[in-house]
Structure 1
Amino acid sequence: MELPVVFVVLLVLFSSEAYAQSAPSLSLTPTPAPAPAPDFVNLTALLSVAGPFHTFLGLLESTKVIETFQDQANNTEEGITLFVPKDGAFTALKKPSLSNLTADQLKSLVLFHALPHYYSLADFRNLSDMSPVATMAGGQFTLNFTDVSGTAHLTSGWSDTKVSSAVHSTDPVAVYQVDKVLLPEAIFGTDIPPTAAPAPAPEIAPAADAPEAADSAASSPGSSADNSSSHRIVSWGPLVLAISGGLVLLL
């Protein structure tokens, strides 16, 4: 028995509608691509070619703080800001000496040179209002920041220095060069020796006054010769008068 044509048409329509409802809808909006991961920054390689920062890099490696910094730089959302003294800053450091520090103190000293957050050069203006700022050494190891004509200055009690250049500054890693080693009061105490005052300028002797110069000229050998000549001229005067008088009497 053949099905009526109308029944077949209805069956096809209902089947098409059911498939349309069950089929997944296709979106025409493209899915945004995931944000690229930040580039991995190898701090050892960076400090090896910049600077020279060999002394500071040696301290990072001997205390194993380089591993802490590397993890903070590449495995946290906060990032890191690192202040690195050049080799000359360690050479110029006479007192206090770093040679008497314990292993823990030396580690804290190195951690004192980093902030657990990425800061661009422009961000240092805000840090002046947030001072003191905690470093990665924690506890009382804090730094004070001031902005002087757009240049960031750092104060740790024993050290007063500034950011002299940017070695690397791309979120999440910032590495800045500083002129001095940062020395924390938490290690070296608060008995900070006063800064030596600048040497006074040498005094300039005043020029001789005119009357004194005249007196000196009068007492010079040349002046004495002139005075003796005038005395000789005056001593001939009475003799000439006597001869003239004698001639008048003879006449």
Structure 2
Amino acid sequence: MEFSKIFTICFSVLLLCSSLAYGQARSPPAPVAMSPTPTPAPAPAPPYVNLTYLLSVAGPFHTFLDYLESTKVIDTFQNQANNTDQGITVFVPKDSAFKDLRKPSFSNLSDDQLKSLILYHALPRFYTLADFNELSTKGSISTLAGGEYTLNFTYDSGTVHLDSGWSKTKVTSAVHSTDPVAIYQVDKVLLPEAIFGTDIPPTPAPSPAPVPDVSPAADSPSAESKESGSSPKSAPSTSSSNSIMNLCIWRQLVLAVSAGVVLFF
């Protein structure tokens, strides 16, 4: 009787231990702590380009800058430079280019025409100077003023020439050339045919060079050389005639003496 109790107790304990061991073996592993995935940092925004500042400190561009601000075209340029992927290229005339401008005059232009004329000085894309080599093969290029306002480019040994019909000029220096903004100085104001028409006055022919006076002066070396050259020619003729006369006289004297001797004997 005691043996059966002991056997029952041992069997129960063994069964309990087996259950506990099996439960531990079947229990899921503890979850591994996962580190949070780092969020990539946003790409830095390109620096804001202030065209007003660049033009005010770069050179004598005060007149062009005044037109940019009075026509509000500066806002269009700033938006194209900073809020588009294409960027902008601006051709800036010097102050002296506006002073040299006589005809046609800006005083007869409407507000819209003046605005279009200033927009005409920019291309809606960033171009380096080397890019104009390929651009010169594409014919007329539209400007920010619209499809009718086109420019023609010629690339000659590193120099960029511009032709608007009324204006023929060239890029004289690079004021700023970092993507997305290129600013190039030109020596003339760009005048579009879309405003001033196609009746372009002919370019005046260059004045002929003065013809030098080739007439010899009285005391010039050439005149002296001519006079000195002619005097030796007259000298030989005079000496030869004198020699002939002297020879004739001697012959007459010899004949006279001979005749006198004959008569004497």
TM-score, length-scaled by structure 2: 0.71
Aligned length: 233
| Match status 1:49 vs 2:51 | no
**Counterpart Cα distance in 1 of 2:186 and 2:201:** 21
- Deviation of 1:199 after TM superposition, in Å, equals 5.5
- Report deviation, 1:150: 3.9
Give the root-mean-square deviation of aligned CA atoms.
3.6
Out of 57, 65, 73, the residue aligned to residue 65 of structure 1 is: 73
| 2:132 equivalent in structure 1 | 124
* Aligned pairs (5 A) from 1:220-231: 220-221=230-231, 223-231=233-241
Partner-residue secondary structure (3-state), 2:74: helix
Native 8 Å contact 1:83 1:178 kept in 2: yes
Whole-angstrom CA distance in 2 between matches of 1:147 and 1:229: 76
- Give, as a single letter, the amino acid of the residue that structure 2 aligns with 1:144: N
Counterpart code for 1:75: N
Q: CA deviation at 1:225?
A: 5.0
C-alpha change, 1:203 and 1:249, in structure 2 (3 Å) is same
User: Relative to 1, partners in 2 of residues 1:123 and 1:247: Cα closer, same or farther, differing over 3 Å?
Assistant: closer
Partners of 1:61 and 1:154 in 2: how far apart? 24
Q: 1:239 to 1:120 in 2, by over 3 A?
A: closer
Which residue in 2 is equivalent to 1:195? 203
Return the offset for 1:27.
4.6
Instruction: Give the CA deviation at 1:44.
Output: 1.2
Per-residue deviation, residues 110-133 of structure 1 (Å, max 9, x unmatched): 110011222233433443344322
Larger CA Rg, structure 1 vs 2: 2
Indicate if the aligned counterparts of 1:152 and 1:163 stay in contact, CA closer than 8 A: yes
User: Would you say 1:85 and 2:73 are equivalent positions?
Assistant: no
Letter in 2 for 1:33: A
Whole-angstrom CA distance in 2 between matches of 1:41 and 1:161 = 27
| Aligned residue identity for 2:48 | F
TM-score using structure 1 length? 0.74
Which residue, out of 29, 36, 40, partners 2:44? Answer: 36
Distance 1:121 1:232 in 2: 87
Partner of 2:84: 76
* Contact kept? 1:217, 1:223, Cα under 8 Å: no
* 1:209 corresponds to: none
How far off its partner does 1:33 sit?
Answer: 1.7
2:142 aligned to which of 134, 137, 142: 134
- Letter of the 2:154 partner, please give it: T
What is the CA-CA distance between 1:79 and the residue it aligns to?
2.4
Displacement of 1:145 in angstroms is 2.5
Alignment of 1:118-197 (within 5 A): 118-197=126-205
* SS class of match (2:188): coil
Point out the more displaced range, 219-228 or 124-133. Answer: 219-228
SS in 2 for 1:83: strand
- Hey, what's the Cα distance between the residues in 2 that align with 1:46 and 1:114? 15
Structure 2: distance between partners of 1:68 and 1:245: 123
SS at match of 1:141: strand
- Structure 2 counterpart SS, 1:118: coil
Deviations 1:70-128 (A, max 9, x none): 22222333322111122233334344344443333222111100112222334334433
TM-superposed CA distance for 1:39, in Å, is 1.0
Deviation at 1:169, TM superposition (A): 2.1
Is 1:101–2:130 an aligned residue pair? no
User: Are the aligned partners of 1:47 and 1:53 in contact in 2 as well (CA < 8 Å)?
Assistant: yes
Q: Percent identity?
A: 59
